[in-house]
Chain A
Amino acid sequence: MRDDVSDATRRASPIDTAGNAVIAKAHAAGRQRRFGQISIEVRRSASFPLRLFALAAALVTGLGLSAFALILVGVPAESLADEFVSATILDPMNFKAVLVQAAPLILVGLAAAMAFRVRFWNLGIEGQMIFGGVGATLVSLLHLGPEWARLPLMGLAAVTCGALWASIPALLKLRLSVNEIISTLLLNYVAYYVLLHLLYGAWKDEDGFPHSPAYAASELLPNLDSGVSVSLVLAGGMTLLMTYLVARSRAGFYMRFVSANPGVARALGLPVANMVLFVVLVSGSLAALAGFVVSSGQEGRLTQSFFPGYGVSGVLIGFLARNNPVAAAVVALLMSVLVIAGQNLQVFYGIPPSMVQLIQAVVVMSVAASDFLVIHRVHWIRYRA
């Protein structure tokens, strides 16, 4: 039967009638490689210590590479630790700046982490922040409610506006299957121009600058006696609330099924669409709170300070935290250290502001790459002599 195999086949599959000769030949070729081989196989599951080790290794690698880059642009190696640890965490002024910066970062991190839990890639965090600020400012400009209720009302208005804004891509996705990556991203521009329209138009301050009139004293998020801003308390409270929602409520249980396998969740009769809508509204509300915190806790008015950066930072925090709310808060705090340290480095060593983004990117890529080790098992096979 082999005899009628054409020439082409013979070349393609070098089978000779002796059969085993092929194997012997290939075997001999293998033996010429003296150092053995790397073998890679897929793990069936990864243990917790292994995951921890991979994460630690990734962080060390990422930070090591970042340190190298910083040294290259002229930061002395011996002062790196000084700038990152002593100057930010041990210096009271800077530490306070870290905490102030941490509040909105925690909120955007939570916003991303929650949305990712139902496979909704919310890249519209900045737009939702803008509408949070717009909602809060609306209450401030209209002097709604008695003075003591002004701040809660501003918060409520911010959440409502942010959630409504986030409901647009959610409904587009659920009703018309519009990809939310595109819609959320593009709606950011819409939100941005709405903001400009207000700040250059109806809401322009009397001083002529494109920002809203300053909030009244009762409309600013105060500091507690201990010096900690209410913003941070708000962010911490949201972290706990999200942890409860994810770990202890039925919604969290459903979210795990929607995330693990939407098809199975649907076949099991779980309210998949309603879960997605609910979680996106929660995500939009968290982003809007971040906008409220920036306006009322940092700027004291509606400005253009929702600079491109919060959205990306939120996504990175959500990713690094593996969508876990508590981890998101921790990562956001570290991110805040990085931002403040970066500002100091800019002032003292003249490094470009993009270095901070570079460090973020390097760390994120290292963590993403470490997944390979978690998913695969790599062996070294040595040939015996």
Chain B
Amino acid sequence: MTHSLLELERVSKAFDGFQALDGASFSAAAGEIHALLGENGAGKSTLMNICCGLYTPDSGSLRLAGRETRLSGPREAAALGIGMVHQHFKLVRPFSILDNVLLSRLGSGDRIASAKGERLAMRAAIHEQAAALGGTLDPDARIDSLSIAEQQRVEVIKALIAGARILILDEPTAVLTDQEAEKLMLTLRRLASSGTTVVLVTHKLMDVKRFADRVTILRGGRTVGSIDPKGTALEELTRLTVGETLPTVRETQPVFGRRRLETLGLSVRRADGTKAVDAVSFHVRAGEIYAIAGVSGNGQSELTEVLMGLRRAGSGSVQFEDAGEAVTAADPARLRRYGVAFIPADRYRYALAGGLSVAENYGVGDVARGRYGSWLWLRRGRLRKNAEEALSSFDVQGVRALSQKAALLSGGNAQKLVIAREFSDPPSIIVAQSPSRGLDARATAAVHARLQASARNGAAVLLVSEDLDEAMKLAHRIGVMAGGKLVGEFTAPFDRQQIGGAMVGHA
């Protein structure tokens, strides 16, 4: 057996008493695609942040090509051939691709004599690498003019130009459509066959099964095993990741009530005058889950923002049952009085103040409803007590104290906190956008169960999701958005081919 290129042995790392890694081990050989699988909070990101020099381990060792190594920071890691593509790209958006590449090389000690010479060389290098990865990129294109998939490619190229022999990608497919993910995986396969080690941090079992040569599974900061995914059943992988089998929800035939939420010819214009949402009409009845499916960027975000009261509709109207009249623009405070709950895709932009405590984030909705005293006196004791109860009944884990900052929660637990707050007063309408994005299997199941339970209790649920599997699993009806228009409406049972066709047919 050839010895491993990258090897981590019995690595531990604690953050303020929280043991993120507890003697985890990991080793990857040259030229393989190695998946690192685990639930949110299992320690995947911490382990990889140690590999790329962002964190220093409390104990344990890191070996590169058999040599014990200590990394002082990302720069040294890059010098040693370790490149990382973070989930949130480290790109300067108003800069061109070329400038971003040049920026990443500052201080690397690996520069070419003249600035002009370096620009020329890097321009050539970007072309070469893009071609080698199977595509083209204009080095002068600005980052904010690129799609998410293209930005990701820039990150990969940046790492390769820095000389990466080990490429770590954190949840690379989370932000991509099926087709884009497929393309990325082909690219990575090509890299691996040329000798690069690719480490794929993920919690998507299907990615592992389809693309990885080997998989290491983390659970609770420890390594559970390192196996060949091709020879392992999906159920076995699930069991290793989660530790127990997940309960499945059995669906009974629902009865729908009146129309709770309805849009009539709703149109929204972007800043440049083009229509992001174009005459969209649909309705959601009480007890019903209505999904809006579609490839991302086809107007779903704009539609959701209108429904959340954060954006004005250009024309058309939205009708909330409890409003009594059609409204074209409603502010978030009024929508909440109508009993609308929101589960936005971008939690730390629309739902949680990361710098504030878990208790404050939980209680803010009810404080506004006056449940914790008048304007003159805030009943903090009662708020804390209720927060504690809600955290346990909604199974929010990783809260060591109610005064802990919400930003320290893992994705799944942050989402559960949002749901605990939004559902503290049973909502009559729920608008959820990609509610399981970035969540592991168990948290996803919990979120889905909550949405289904709410619908059974008579709430109207609008689910805006880019994940067709999620939409098909939960929804009673699916509307497909493409190019800002609602191009098709389907009723359960669904035909995946038909819906998929509608999604791409009009794009």
Interface residues of A (CB under 8 A from B): 1-2, 4-6, 8-9, 11-15, 17, 19-20, 22-24, 26-27, 30, 37-41, 44-45, 47, 248-253, 256-257, 260-261, 263-271, 379, 381, 383
In the complex, chain A residues whose CB is within 8 Å of the CB of B30: 19-20
What residue of chain B has the Cβ atom nearest to residue A46's Cβ? B16
Whether A14 contacts B350 in the complex (CB less than 8 A), given A22-B81, A249-B377, comes out as: no
The answer to whether A381 and B377 have CB atoms under 8 Å apart is no
In the complex, chain B residues whose CB is within 8 Å of the CB of A251: 375
The answer to whether A264 and B377 have CB atoms under 8 Å apart is no
Candidate in A1, A252, A256, A268 with the most chain B CB atoms within 10 angstroms: A268
What residue of chain B has the Cβ atom nearest to residue A261's Cβ? B353
Whether A270 contacts B368 in the complex (CB less than 8 A), given A23-B80, A39-B72, A260-B356, comes out as: yes
A365 to B54, CA, bound (A): 28
A38 to B81, CA, bound (A): 20
Whether A266 contacts B121 in the complex (CB less than 8 A), given A251-B375, A381-B56, comes out as: no
Whether A6 contacts B124 in the complex (CB less than 8 A), given A13-B163, A269-B333, comes out as: yes
In which size bucket is the chain B interface?
35 or more
The answer to whether A250 and B367 have CB atoms under 8 Å apart is yes
In the complex, chain A residues whose CB is within 8 Å of the CB of B336: 268-269
The answer to whether B350 and A264 have CB atoms under 8 Å apart is yes
A38 to B76, CA, bound (A): 12
A271 to B80, CA, bound (A): 52
A–B pairs, 18, beta carbons within 8 Å:
A8-B125, A9-B161, A12-B112, A24-B65, A26-B80, A45-B405, A248-B378, A250-B378, A252-B378, A253-B367, A257-B353, A261-B354, A265-B353, A267-B342, A267-B350, A268-B368, A269-B335, A379-B56
A263 to B310, CA, bound (A): 10
Is B86 engaged at the interface, CB distance under 8 Å to the other chain? no
Is B440 engaged at the interface, CB distance under 8 Å to the other chain? no
Q: How far is the CB of A323 from chain B (nearest CB, A)?
A: 13
Candidate in B5, B70, B331, B336 with the most chain A CB atoms within 10 angstroms: B70
The answer to whether A19 and B355 have CB atoms under 8 Å apart is no
Whether A12 contacts B121 in the complex (CB less than 8 A), given A45-B16, A267-B350, A270-B364, comes out as: yes
- Which listed residue, B161, B333, B380, touches A271 by the CB 8 Å rule? B333
The answer to whether B331 and A269 have CB atoms under 8 Å apart is yes
The answer to whether A8 and B333 have CB atoms under 8 Å apart is no
Whether A270 contacts B333 in the complex (CB less than 8 A), given A14-B110, A264-B350, A381-B56, comes out as: yes
The answer to whether A27 and B80 have CB atoms under 8 Å apart is yes
In the complex, chain B residues whose CB is within 8 Å of the CB of A38: 72
A44 to B112, CA, bound (A): 38
Is B486 engaged at the interface, CB distance under 8 Å to the other chain? no
Is B132 engaged at the interface, CB distance under 8 Å to the other chain? yes
The answer to whether B124 and A8 have CB atoms under 8 Å apart is yes
Is B128 engaged at the interface, CB distance under 8 Å to the other chain? yes
Knowing that A12-B105, A45-B408, A381-B70 touch, tell me 11 more A-B residue pairs with CB under 8 angstroms.
Answer: A9-B124, A20-B165, A22-B163, A45-B16, A249-B377, A249-B378, A251-B375, A252-B378, A256-B353, A257-B356, A268-B336
- Which listed residue, B54, B105, B162, B344, touches A41 by the CB 8 Å rule? B54
The answer to whether B374 and A250 have CB atoms under 8 Å apart is yes
The answer to whether A253 and B350 have CB atoms under 8 Å apart is no
Q: How far is the CB of A382 from chain B (nearest CB, A)?
A: 9
Is B316 engaged at the interface, CB distance under 8 Å to the other chain? no
The answer to whether B194 and A1 have CB atoms under 8 Å apart is yes
A38 to B464, CA, bound (A): 47
In the complex, chain B residues whose CB is within 8 Å of the CB of A264: 348-353
Q: How far is the CB of A354 from chain B (nearest CB, A)?
A: 37
A5 to B130, CA, bound (A): 11
Of all A-B residue pairs in the complex, the 4 with the closest CB atoms, nearest first, are: A269-B333, A269-B332, A260-B353, A37-B72
Q: Which residues 216-248 in B have Cβ within 8 Å of A in the complex?
A: none
Whether A13 contacts B55 in the complex (CB less than 8 A), given A30-B76, A257-B353, A264-B351, comes out as: no
Whether A23 contacts B81 in the complex (CB less than 8 A), given A5-B132, A45-B408, A257-B353, comes out as: yes
Candidate in A24, A248, A260 with the most chain B CB atoms within 10 angstroms: A260
Q: How far is the CB of A265 from chain B (nearest CB, A)?
A: 7
Interface residues of B (CB under 8 A from A): 5, 15-16, 30, 54-56, 64-65, 67, 69-73, 76, 79-81, 105, 110, 112, 120-122, 124-125, 128-129, 132, 160-163, 165, 190, 193-195, 308-310, 331-336, 342, 344, 348-356, 360, 364-365, 367-368, 373-378, 380, 404-405, 408
The answer to whether B163 and A15 have CB atoms under 8 Å apart is yes
- Which listed residue, B69, B105, B120, B121, touches A27 by the CB 8 Å rule? B69
In the complex, chain B residues whose CB is within 8 Å of the CB of A263: 349-350
In the complex, chain A residues whose CB is within 8 Å of the CB of B79: 26
The answer to whether A268 and B195 have CB atoms under 8 Å apart is no
The answer to whether A260 and B81 have CB atoms under 8 Å apart is no
In the complex, chain A residues whose CB is within 8 Å of the CB of B73: 39-40
The answer to whether B67 and A24 have CB atoms under 8 Å apart is yes
In the complex, chain A residues whose CB is within 8 Å of the CB of B71: 39
Q: How far is the CB of B135 from chain A (nearest CB, A)?
A: 15
- Which listed residue, A2, A12, A44, A45, touches B161 by the CB 8 Å rule? A12
Q: How far is the CB of A369 from chain B (nearest CB, A)?
A: 21
A253 to B128, CA, bound (A): 55
The answer to whether A5 and B128 have CB atoms under 8 Å apart is yes
In the complex, chain A residues whose CB is within 8 Å of the CB of B72: 37-39, 381
The answer to whether B5 and A20 have CB atoms under 8 Å apart is yes
What residue of chain B has the Cβ atom nearest to residue A382's Cβ? B70
What residue of chain A has the Cβ atom nearest to residue B132's Cβ? A1
A24 to B65, CA, bound (A): 8
Q: How far is the CB of A353 from chain B (nearest CB, A)?
A: 40
A8 to B332, CA, bound (A): 55
Candidate in B64, B80, B373, B374 with the most chain A CB atoms within 10 angstroms: B80
Q: How far is the CB of B15 from chain A (nearest CB, A)?
A: 5
Whether A19 contacts B125 in the complex (CB less than 8 A), given A44-B16, A250-B374, A267-B344, comes out as: no
A6 to B80, CA, bound (A): 22
The answer to whether B64 and A23 have CB atoms under 8 Å apart is yes
A268 to B108, CA, bound (A): 44
A269 to B341, CA, bound (A): 11
What residue of chain B has the Cβ atom nearest to residue A47's Cβ? B16
In the complex, chain A residues whose CB is within 8 Å of the CB of B342: 267
What residue of chain A has the Cβ atom nearest to residue B374's Cβ? A250
Q: How far is the CB of B342 from chain A (nearest CB, A)?
A: 7
Whether A11 contacts B112 in the complex (CB less than 8 A), given A26-B79, A26-B80, comes out as: yes
What residue of chain B has the Cβ atom nearest to residue A42's Cβ? B54
The answer to whether B353 and A9 have CB atoms under 8 Å apart is no
In the complex, chain B residues whose CB is within 8 Å of the CB of A379: 56
In the complex, chain B residues whose CB is within 8 Å of the CB of A383: 70
A30 to B64, CA, bound (A): 13
The answer to whether A257 and B161 have CB atoms under 8 Å apart is no
The answer to whether B360 and A253 have CB atoms under 8 Å apart is yes
In the complex, chain A residues whose CB is within 8 Å of the CB of B121: 8, 11-12
In the complex, chain B residues whose CB is within 8 Å of the CB of A12: 105, 110, 112, 121-122, 125, 161
In the complex, chain A residues whose CB is within 8 Å of the CB of B129: 9
A383 to B310, CA, bound (A): 54
Q: How far is the CB of B401 from chain A (nearest CB, A)?
A: 11
A39 to B52, CA, bound (A): 13
In the complex, chain A residues whose CB is within 8 Å of the CB of B16: 44-45, 47
Whether A253 contacts B364 in the complex (CB less than 8 A), given A12-B122, A41-B55, A266-B310, comes out as: yes
